[in-house]
Amino acid sequence: MSPRPSPPEPDLRAIFDEHFDYVWITLRRLGVREADLEDLAHEVFLKVHARLADYDAARPMRPWLFGFAYRVAADHRRLARHRVEVLGAPAEALDPVMSADQRIEADQDRELVEAALEGIRMDRRAVLLLHEVDEVPVPAIARELGIPVNTAYSRLRLARGDLAAAYKRLCKARGVL
């Protein structure tokens, strides 16, 4: 029996295989707790599946996926009043060539940054992550998030200031100056 021709719309399995890690890490950066990551990643891909026909193949996939992750994470935060806590990732998930001291430092550094991120409003954090981490141009961010370009610039600037201030404060509080 000859295989069917590929469907015109993107293949969900291929998207999952290629971008699951990205969705997972993005959800974590958006403040989702470790214990909730599986459920929310599942929810993201369910929503992606429902909207596959809307995907414009001329646009990059990751900003599109980020939009789903952002909305799922934002809804989750609205529905649940979470304690502000950061669950440490398992040590074995870190670079295996790092020494124990380096692992501890890298772990502490990431916790500090994640904690600092936690203090940034979700709408600003989304712009910050998309631009500074995923290197998406600001106009493309504005398009994906459905906001004016100037608002995206404004949020980026404010988020960077927020992050700098929060990080500095946390460093002081923990005596890691």
Partner 1 sequence: MKEQLPSFDQRVLDSLRAGSPPPPEARARVRARLEAAIPAMRGRGSRSGGAGPGGLSSAARALAVGAFVAGGLTGAAAQALWATPPAPRVVYVDRVAPSLSTETAVRAPAEQAEPPARAVATAARAALLAAPTARPRGRPDPEARPSQLSAERILLDDARAALVQGEPERSLDRLERHRREFPGGVLSEERDAMQIEALARAGRFEQARARADEFLRRAPSSLFRSTVDAAMAAAPPSPPIPAEVHGPLR
Looking only at residues 133 through 162 of this chain, which bind partner 1 when binding is defined by CB under 8 A?
133, 135, 137-140, 143, 148-151, 153-155, 157-158, 160-162
Q: Which is nearer to partner 1, 75 or 105 (CB)?
A: 105
Q: Does 3 bind partner 1 (CB under 8 A)?
A: yes
Q: Which is nearer to partner 1, 73 or 117 (CB)?
A: 117
CB of 85 to partner 1, least distance (A): 5
> Which residues in 103-112 are b (16+ Cβ under 10 Å) and which e?
eeeebeeebb
CB of 16 to partner 1, least distance (A): 7
Within residues 67-96, the interface with partner 1 by CB under 8 A covers 83-90, 93-94
Q: Which is nearer to partner 1, 28 or 62 (CB)?
A: 28
Q: Cβ of 81: how many Cβ atoms within 10 Å?
A: 6
Q: Is 149 exposed, middle or buried (0-12, 13-18, 19+ CB in 10 A)?
A: middle
- Interface segment toward partner 1; rule CB under 8 A; list 42-50, 64-72, 73-81: 42-50
Q: Is 8 exposed, middle or buried (0-12, 13-18, 19+ CB in 10 A)?
A: exposed
Distance CA 114, CA 54 (A): 32
